[in-house]
A and B are shown apart, each in its own frame.
Chain A
Amino acid sequence: MSAHTIFLEELERDALTELVNIGVSRAASSLRKMVGEQVLLSVPAVEVMTREGAAVLIRERESGELVAVRQDFQGVFSGRALLIFPETNSMALVHAVTGGALSVDEAAEMENEALAETGNVVLNSCLATMANMLQQPLTMSLPEVLRGDGASLFTLSDENADGGVVLFLYINFAINDRDIRGYIAMLMDLPSLQALKTLINDFIERVAGDVG
């Protein structure tokens, strides 16, 4: 069996998937408002794997260059959230979010800035909603735009890897009628995972009481 069973019980995994589902739905709703088009989501995948494994997972799906907006979060649990899409989609996304507000030239000029703000809105919506569900505050860093292949997005230069095992969550999204698709991904290291486990179990208890 895969490694996640060692770290998360089946119910915990389900609950985490749902939390991500709730967060990402909110993020999709934000993105929908920004681009004025329907945003389609996949069911979230939750895996415990090495950073390299996560990079491989994305690289197997996307062989070209990638663009990502990265935001780190800190609190009872910490980690990194990424909005990832193929570089070839980048300008299309910028056009979609700037819509009528900017001319084509203007949009091109502020490509990075627009991507950062888009990532900021999407990732913040997602993380804040999850924090609310878990009833624990999180602080979010400023968004940063990265370019490169899958491997470079997940390697941390400022942290030393603790065996490199991370909790990796990802969701595919696609914007209807535009050829834009990508991923929302989250990485959490092991100490965070322990804290998260506790919060998830609180959530499960609330659910067991609440629903039905």
Chain B
Amino acid sequence: MGTTVLIVDDSKLARIVVGKAIAALQPDWNRLEASGADEALALLDCQAIDVVVLDFNMPGRDGLELAEELRGRFPNMPIAIATANVQDEIIARAREAGATFIPKPVTEDGMRGFISGAALRLRSAAQ
């Protein structure tokens, strides 16, 4: 079974950009998209998801809250927060929630560390 990544961002453009970066790094991964926290949770309930990339600034629950909740449910899931809000405080909170911080605009280079780390973690967990 392949790896599935869920991209959560209220902006379609942002989802396209993140999706493109991931596709370049891991062409075999399945990519799912959600435009908000509720939609993401619904997806997580009905299918297996290995990796999530979350936007921070979204209508409804923000990305950090969602990350904290997911961390509770999936202690080992690789989670990333992608945002242009590069405040020290946000970076610190992302770290506390066990999420990788990725500055926007997302580029392949900016994504590389997280994606390869996640791939490695998933492989070792599978063994």
Contacts and interface: CB of A to CB of B under 8 A. Distances in A.
B105 A34 contact: yes
Interface stretch (B37-45, B82-90, B113-121): B82-90
B57 interface: yes
A34 B13 CA distance: 11
Interface residues of A, number: 29
By secondary structure, the B interface counts as: loop
Contacts, number: 65
Of the four ranges (under 10, 10 to 19, 20 to 34, 35 or more), the interface on chain B belongs to: 20 to 34
A33 B107 contact: yes
Overall SS of chain A's interface:
helix
B11 interface: yes
Interface of A: 26, 30, 33-34, 97-98, 101-102, 110, 113-114, 116-118, 120-125, 127-129, 131-132, 137-138, 140, 142
In the A-B complex, the 4 residue pairs with the closest CB atoms: A124-B84, A117-B11, A121-B84, A128-B87
Given A101-B17, A137-B89, 6 more contacts: A110-B12, A120-B104, A125-B86, A125-B104, A140-B57, A140-B85
8 contacts: A34-B105, A98-B16, A116-B11, A123-B84, A128-B84, A128-B90, A142-B10, A142-B58
